[in-house]
Amino acid sequence: MEVTLNRDKLLNSLSHAYGIIEKKNTIPILSNVLIEVKESKVTITATDLDIIYSEEIQPINVKQEGSTTTSANIFYDILRKLLPNSKVEIILKDKNKLKLESGNSTFNLLCIPPENFPLSNENLNIKSFKINPKKLLKLLHKTKISISGDETRHYLNGIFFHKTNIKGKTFLTGVSTDSHRLSSSSLEIEESVQFEPIILPKKTIFQLLSLLEDVGNEVKISSDKSKIKFEMQNAVLVSKVIDGKFPDYSKVVPFENEKKLEINLNDFKSSIERVVSVSMDRKEGLKMAISKNSIRMSVSSPSSGEGIEIIKANFNSDNLNMVFNSRYLIDIASQIEHNSILLNFKDPGSPVMIKDYSDQNSFYVVMPMKI
């Protein structure tokens, strides 16, 4: 194997693959990336056995085809420190030694033969459809905020993707919940699309978030009950899905809440961030005293003091007092696109529905704190 590549293109590809690799591995080859030179293309592949990521790079020059695996960590670190836009020559000297040359720098890296690299050749193209990458990216951002970190309920450690039908239209809907809050976002798809409900793991979601930023063409999605594949321009990501049953979230969505509170989004976010400054660990609840034309927000901490702020608002009901986890509200507000945020209440102990005037296909549910 002997090939010359552009350092920036190689580094960009390797940075995507590097995110897959677990930093502490008991199986040595899982710490490596697979480098394949074939048919005038270079393919970089990484896996943690749950996710496989491959990306093709166009080389400057191919002198000899071949393949090997080498340490992703060392390879990535070297490339980061090379001069931007420089040429990198990669030569496989023997099955255990890979030579890297760039400018006046030469590195000899240890290798493991590629035959030992675990790859899956399963065909997931039976049920596939295409989707706009920016719309998928937005859906992931809006739903990632409510993913649970509770490992004892593994089925909540991801986003539940499933088909829904609303007012005669078909959607791909993503839902996440940690049992204290819930996020739902949908994007319209063709009615003919076949898609089995799946729970996409957190690690795959965050990998997709970084990949989709640079994708211009439509993303092809193929899936079955155990795996899902995303094909993006010159890259392919295949991931296992979470084996478990997602709860029937429709039972906790308060669609009938009639007490409506409308607030300027920036005022709402800024006010919360200011008053919670007195709480060092953010454990104290954010108290909201809601009246017709204003909200009194306050946080009181036994160890550090009290913060109070009053902002303008429009409320269509009688006075209402509630307490919330401030971080939940800030996370939701950060995903609202309109300049106003709409909160729908029932009573002080019931879940609150939060909506975005600019995105009718997304909503959030937050449980108030019990004090």
Lowest model confidence (mean pLDDT) among 6-15, 17-26, 87-96, 289-298: 17-26
Answer whether 128-251 and 254-366 agree in fold.
yes
Structure tokens at 54: 């491959």
In this structure, CATH architecture of domain 2-116: Roll (3.10)
Report the chain's C-alpha Rg in angstroms. Answer: 25
How confident is the model over 69-87, as a mean pLDDT? 96
pLDDT of residue 126: 66
pLDDT reported for residue 1: 95
Q: Span 165-191, mean pLDDT?
A: 95
Confidence of residue 125 (pLDDT cuts 50, 70, 90): low
Closest CA to 67 of 9, 29, 114, 104: 114
pLDDT value at residue 24: 82
Q: Where in 135-267 does DSSP place strands (E)?
A: 158-166, 169-177, 181-188, 198-201, 219-223, 227-232, 235-240, 259-264
Helix orientation angle between 202-212 and 133-144, rounded to the nearest 10 degrees: 140
Maximal C-alpha separation, the chain: 79
What is the per-residue pLDDT for 124? 62
pLDDT band at 259 (very low <50, low <70, confident <90, very high): very high
Give the model's pLDDT for residue 166.
Answer: 87
User: 254-366 sits in which CATH class?
Assistant: alpha beta
Read off the tokens for 308: 């109070």
Q: Residue 292 burial (CB < 10 Å; 0-12/13-18/19+)? A: exposed
What are the domain boundaries of the chain?
A: 2-116, 128-251, 254-366
Q: Write down the mean pLDDT value for the chain.
A: 93
What confidence tier does 89 reach under pLDDT thresholds 50, 70, 90?
A: very high
**Fold for domain 128-251?**
DNA Polymerase III; Chain A, domain 2 (3.10.150)
CA distance 289 to 232: 48
Dihedral angle at the C-alpha atoms of 12, 13, 16, 20, nearest 10 degrees? -140
pLDDT at 261: 97
The conformational region for residue 368 under phi > 0 = left, psi -120 to 50 = alpha, else beta, is beta
Q: Give start and end residues of each alpha helix (H) in the chain.
A: 7-18, 72-81, 133-144, 202-212, 265-275, 326-333
The percent of residues above 70 in pLDDT, for the chain, comes to 97
- Say if residues 297 and 284 touch (Cβ distance below 8 Å): no
> At 371, is the pLDDT very low, low, confident or very high (cuts 50, 70, 90)?
low
pLDDT of residue 116: 87
Backbone torsions φ then ψ of 72, nearest 5 degrees: -65, -40
DSSP state letters, 85-150: T-EEEEEEEETTEEEEEETTEEEEEEEE-GGGS--------SSEEEE-HHHHHHHHHHHHTT----
Residue-level pLDDT at 25? 80
Burial of 165 (0-12, 13-18, 19+ CB in 10 A): exposed
- Residues of the chain with pLDDT > 90, as a percent, come to 86
Q: Is it the case that residue 175 has pLDDT exceeding 90?
A: yes
pLDDT tens, position by position, 273-285:
999 999 877 667 9
Is the pLDDT at 60 greater than 70? The verdict is: yes
Q: At residue 162, does pLDDT exceed 90?
A: yes
Residue 233: its pLDDT value, please? 87
Question: Which stretch, 122-131, 281-290, 303-312, has highest mean pLDDT?
Answer: 303-312
pLDDT for res 303: 84
Q: pTM for the full model?
A: 0.93
Residue type, 16: H
- Between vectors from CA 45 to CA 39 and to CA 49, what angle results, nearest 5°? 140
Tell me what pLDDT residue 38 has: 94
Q: Write phi, then psi, for 320 (nearest 5 degrees).
A: -145, 135
For the ranges 53-62, 78-87, 212-221, which has the lowest average pLDDT?
A: 212-221
Predicted local distance difference test score (pLDDT) of residue 302: 85
